[in-house]
Structure 1
Amino acid sequence: MSVIDFEPVHQQSTAEMIADRLREAIMRGNLAPGVQLGEADLATRFGVSRGPVREAMQRLLSEGLLYSIRNRGIFVIELTVDDVVDIYRARTAIEGGALALILDGRRDIAYTALGPSVTDMCAHAESGNAAGVSDADQAFHEALVDSAGSPRLVRAARTLLIETRMCLGALQTTYPDLREQAQEHVDLREAIGAGPKPRARTLLIEHMNDAIHRLRRRYPEQVDR
């Protein structure tokens, strides 16, 4: 096959770089839910042509982080409480699959990988830094899925984790003490490292279900409509 059949590498990497920055901005709330994105404006801000921006936006459209309205434009997703409940249900399936692989010969790998995020989470919880706890929470679950050694699970989890980070502000306020949130992750890590396998599975499911129950209690009028 001729080399000219391939897309130039610099264009592909530029589009991926832009996509990464847009994901980060959406996750952090710097691009607010419902805000409209324009190719020309983004191209100017990134200092690139519109082609890589268009490609980056198409990637995020396919991932569900952006949505398109015919004749109006492209917008950042807006998550309802029902959406967030569904996200946690999907994460339970994906992270449960990752945990099954971890418990089948990768426990030491996972225990080591989860260490830094647990340390960070506990430190931020002690100081009352809710944003730091959220960052460490996401890092924990990214490390959990990464430790399974499955690129497909990693891809499947990525968008769900970004969507979760978008809503973690609401979840934080449901914890009376951030140390409780950190302790859940300490216990889960210990169970993954050396505890009985059924306990690790149970703790993961309980952790996910707890997030759903907290949302239902905080926003009872917005769920199961």
Structure 2
Amino acid sequence: MTPAAELQPLAQETTASRVASTVREAIALGHIAPGQQLGEVELARQLGVSRGPLREGLQRLTQEGILIARRNRGLFVIDMTPERVRDVYTARQAVERGAADEVHARGDARSTGSALLSVVEQMERATQGTDDQQVTDADLAFHELLVERSHSSRLIWMHRTLITETRMCLNALVPTYASNAARVTEHRAIADAFAAGDLVQTDRLLVAHMRDGVDRLLP
């Protein structure tokens, strides 16, 4: 192990990093809409930063694929086109099915099912209110927990790279449900399959859940 005396000081988060985090979250939450153009002057004013760190932060989001540069026009938030929606759900399905398989293989399915049911209960309580964002937060937390329980650092990392686009899709899904109760029912069924230790049913429900999301977004 490297002696403590040889360790280097941790670098503080840069202004550009904070810009990227703030704008990324605003996009994920829908405060900055898909397809919206980002004006540097107004954004710098709102964030209280100079143009240099702002541009560096926005460049990071461009590299992540969340923003797109259009020649002679500027930066825009990506549109959730049919092709992008399908691609996001294809990637999510691959990651979450892999995570589920690992959970079952580790013999951790029943405890994972119990943990997921706790999140479903949070989702159900959120449906009693008027804030759809709380339901969406619980929805995202459910899938994050599912992948985290795989204990696969690569699957967890891959899932995190999809978080912003996933939340954009989840925000767009809200109007497609007659009630949030349907979302609760879908997630409870997946959690129950884990709790029962049923790998085949877990996999089947995850595939159906992802296909349902695509079908709702692309009727």
Per the normalisation by structure 2, the TM-score is 0.82
1:25/1:214 CA distance change after superposition, 3 Å: same
Aligned identity (percent) is: 43
**AA at the equivalent of 1:130:** D
Alignment-derived partner of residue 171 in structure 1 = 173
Partners of 2:154 and 2:14 lie apart in 1 by: 21
Alignment-derived partner of residue 206 in structure 1 = 208
**AA at the equivalent of 1:81:** P
1:59/1:153 CA distance change after superposition, 3 Å: farther
1:121 aligned onto 2:126: no
Deviation at 1:170, TM superposition (A): 3.7
Partners of 2:124 and 2:36 lie apart in 1 by: 34
**Farther off after superposition, 126-135 or 207-216:** 126-135
Partners of 1:216 and 1:54 lie apart in 2 by: 34
Partners of 2:215 and 2:195 lie apart in 1 by: 27
1:56 aligned onto 2:61: no
Alignment-derived partner of residue 88 in structure 2 = 87
Alignment-derived partner of residue 130 in structure 1 = 132
**AA at the equivalent of 1:90:** A
**AA at the equivalent of 1:53:** L
Instruction: Indicate which of 184, 187, 206 corresponds to 1:185.
Output: 187
Partners of 1:175 and 1:65 lie apart in 2 by: 26
1:209/1:49 CA distance change after superposition, 3 Å: same
Partners of 2:146 and 2:31 lie apart in 1 by: 26
1:78 aligned onto 2:79: yes
Partners of 1:38 and 1:19 lie apart in 2 by: 15
Alignment-derived partner of residue 196 in structure 1 = 198
1:18/1:146 CA distance change after superposition, 3 Å: farther
Per the normalisation by structure 1, the TM-score is 0.80
1:8/1:197 CA distance change after superposition, 3 Å: closer
* Residue pair 2:101, 2:199 contacting (<8 A) in 1 also: no
1:56/1:150 CA distance change after superposition, 3 Å: farther
Alignment-derived partner of residue 33 in structure 1 = 34
RMSD: 2.6
**Structure 1: runs of 5 or more not aligned:** 1-5, 218-225
**AA at the equivalent of 2:98:** G
Decide which structure has greater helix share: 1
* Residue pair 2:114, 2:191 contacting (<8 A) in 1 also: no
* Residue pair 1:35, 1:76 contacting (<8 A) in 2 also: yes
SS in 2 for 1:207: helix
**Structure 2: runs of 5 or more not aligned:** 1-7
SS in 2 for 1:168: helix
Alignment-derived partner of residue 221 in structure 1 = none
SS in 1 for 2:176: coil
SS in 2 for 1:173: helix
Partners of 2:60 and 2:14 lie apart in 1 by: 13
What do the CA deviations read for 1:4-32 (whole angstroms, capped 9, x no partner)? xx99822x444333222111100111112
